[in-house]
């Protein structure tokens, strides 16, 4: 029995949900999103809740049950609050700035990196060494943050690079004489 999949998903006020076959559509104050559920899971709509159940007792159906429930819960969270990922830049001369529809990164290379901001994602730079990625889609927000971090991941000797806020960087000792 899946502990996560067993919980019904409450639909807050101001949010409308619609189940059509394997597609769950959610509309809220920030926009509308939908997810196509796996064939091993069924979704049922009550007055103010969405309940998911496996079609069989196979291992795959039980695995997809919890995953599908989390995907629908993330849709509801996305159209109400949205998701945010914070990145921090460490290094002398390393900085970021938003210019129109692109993020300009100076990360110690001989050239600047111009990262095109995808549709549905908002990037802000409150400080030159801080990047805030926000959006409705949790997967897209995490993917964009990982792409930005991938341009210059933090190195273990001085800790220079782009890292998530709160991420621990394992530090190594340098060479000894």
Determine contact, residues 121/144, Cβ cutoff 8 Å: yes
| Domain around 120 | 83-164
In a domain, 169, yes or no: no
In the listed set 80, 96, 129, which residue is the last one of a domain according to the structure?
80
Of 28, 47, 80, the domain-final residue: 80
The rounded radius of gyration (Å) of the Cα atoms in the chain is 21
Could you give the number of structural domains in the chain? 2
Q: Which of 34, 38, 131 is nearest to 74 (CA)?
A: 34
Task: Give residue-wise pLDDT tens across range 16-27.
Answer: 999 998 999 999
pLDDT tens digits along 106-151: 999 999 999 999 999 999 999 999 999 999 999 999 999 999 999 9
Give the global pTM. Answer: 0.89
- CA–CA separation, 12 vs 26, rounded Å? 11
**Where does a domain end: 56, 80, 104?**
80
């Amino acid at each position: 029995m899946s502990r996560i999949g067993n919980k019904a998903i409450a639909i807050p006020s101001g949010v409308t949900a619609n189940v059509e076959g394997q597609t769950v559509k959610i509309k809220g104050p920030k926009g509308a999103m939908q997810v196509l559920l796996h064939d091993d899971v069924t979704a049922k709509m009550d007055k103010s809740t969405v309940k998911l159940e496996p079609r069989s007792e196979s291992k795959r159906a039980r695995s997809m049950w919890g995953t599908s429930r989390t995907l629908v819960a993330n849709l509801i969270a996305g159209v109400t609050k949205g998701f945010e990922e914070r990145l921090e830049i460490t290094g002398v001369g390393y900085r970021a700035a938003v210019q129109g529809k692109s993020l300009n990164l100076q990360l110690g290379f001989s050239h600047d990196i111009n990262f095109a901001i995808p549709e549905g994602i908002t990037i802000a730079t409150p400080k030159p060494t801080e990047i805030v990625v926000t959006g409705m889609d949790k997967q897209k927000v995490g993917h964009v943050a990982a792409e930005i971090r991938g341009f210059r991941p933090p190195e273990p000797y001085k800790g220079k690079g782009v890292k998530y806020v709160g991420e621990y960087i394992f530090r190594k000792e340098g060479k000894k004489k």
